[in-house]
């Protein structure tokens, strides 16, 4: 039997990834992944294609999504794994998130037009995304193409991040409701990349305490490029809270040359792993 190699956090062209679901699954298989979840932002549009590709290769496939959620006036990312996405309440949640994304994109476009003296920021971002609800990376791409920014990072710093002129606060689903809908659809909720929110240790513990009370079960621990201190923090959280570890590369495109699908730090012996919950 070959080694178990998983990746439970990746993006396809259904959201802001560069590869189609099929291309992504093939790339994962080539990297040795045999248990895979596609987790596009607020959409499940890529799952059917990814699942068909995975099954054809004999790869375990877990349905996934990465939801933007609100908690304590800030935005967090919640990965849902193992849902039945046909479940009506889940489908409704996805429709709400898409509507919020679309309204946000239109407002972002208006603000960027004002800032840049252009008229078609929204339409251009739609064309780059191939959807009518483009996320910020596509506006950043357009800003770079029009020479309003040097690169993605500059575009975010100049226009798109919180506090900047084109940042639009979005009415995302709240954390508790998102967890309820994921669990009600047979899935489990995982807090994505906990170290990326720049929370104090105190605030992270407050978030996780509430997350657990609300029915959240997982945190991403196996992540590429965590510092030793960050990794230790994640294991401290696993000690303190009744949580299961998950992990993934957050792969978006092959230009992320530092990422290989499924290449994650090995979890320490005895760490509870989210897959155990998904099979019940
Ligand atoms: Mn993304
Ligand atoms: Mn994320
Ligand atoms: Mn992601």
CA of 220 to the centre of ligand 2 (A): 11
* Cα–ligand 3 centroid distance for 170 (angstroms): 18
State the pTM of this model. Answer: 0.93
Query: What are the residue boundaries of the structural domains of the chain, listed by start?
Result: 6-82+187-278, 107-160
pLDDT of residue 159: 97
Q: Which fold has domain 6-82+187-278?
A: TIM Barrel (3.20.20)
Q: What CA–CA distances, in Å, run from 252 to 42, 177, 243, 257, 261?
A: 15, 27, 26, 11, 10
CA distance 78 to 182: 10
What residues does 41 pair with on adjacent strands? 66
Q: Which numbered ligand comes closest to the C-alpha of 253?
A: 1
Q: What is the pLDDT along the chain (280 residues), one digit of tens a residue?
A: 569 999 999 999 999 999 999 999 999 999 999 999 999 999 999 999 999 999 999 999 999 999 999 999 999 999 999 999 999 999 999 999 999 999 999 999 999 999 999 999 999 999 999 989 999 999 999 999 999 999 999 999 999 999 999 999 999 999 999 999 999 999 999 999 999 999 999 999 999 999 999 999 999 999 999 999 999 999 999 999 999 999 999 999 999 999 999 999 999 999 999 999 997 6
What is the 76 CA–ligand 1 centroid distance (Å)?
Answer: 13
Q: Give the number of whichever ligand sits closest to the CA of residue 10.
A: 3
Q: What is the pLDDT of residue 280?
A: 62
Q: How many Å lie between the centroid of ligand 1 and the Cα of residue 1? A: 34
Q: How far is the CA of 220 from the centre of ligand 1 (A)?
A: 16
């Amino acid at each position: 039997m070959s080694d178990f190699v998983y990746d439970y956090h990746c993006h396809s062209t259904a959201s802001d990834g560069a590869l189609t679901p099929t291309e992504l699954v093939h790339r994962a298989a080539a990297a040795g992944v045999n248990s895979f979840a596609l987790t596009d932002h607020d959409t499940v549009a890529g799952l059917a294609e990814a699942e068909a590709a995975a099954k054809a290769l004999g790869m375990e496939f877990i349905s996934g999504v990465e939801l933007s959620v609100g908690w304590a006036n800030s935005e967090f990312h919640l990965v849902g794994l193992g849902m039945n996405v046909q479940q009506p309440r889940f489908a409704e949640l996805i429709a709400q998130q898409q509507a919020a994304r679309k309204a946000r994109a239109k407002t972002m476009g208006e603000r960027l037009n004002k800032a840049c003296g252009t008229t078609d920021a929204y339409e251009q971002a739609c064309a780059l995304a191939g959807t009518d609800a483009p996320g910020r990376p596509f506006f950043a791409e357009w800003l770079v193409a029009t020479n309003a920014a040097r690169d993605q990072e500059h575009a975010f710093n100049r226009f798109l991040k919180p506090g900047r002129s084109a940042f639009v606060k979005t009415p995302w689903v709240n954390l508790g409701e998102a967890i309820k809908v994921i669990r009600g659809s047979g899935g489990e909720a995982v807090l994505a990349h906990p170290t990326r929110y720049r929370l104090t240790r105190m605030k992270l513990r407050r978030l996780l305490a509430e997350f657990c009370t609300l029915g959240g079960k997982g945190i991403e621990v196996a992540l590429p490029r965590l510092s030793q201190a960050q990794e230790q923090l994640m294991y401290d959280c696993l000690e303190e809270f009744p949580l299961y570890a998950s992990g993934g590369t957050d792969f978006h495109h092959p230009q992320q040359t530092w990422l290989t699908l499924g290449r994650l730090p090995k979890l320490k012996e005895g760490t509870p792993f989210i897959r155990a919950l998904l099979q019940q």
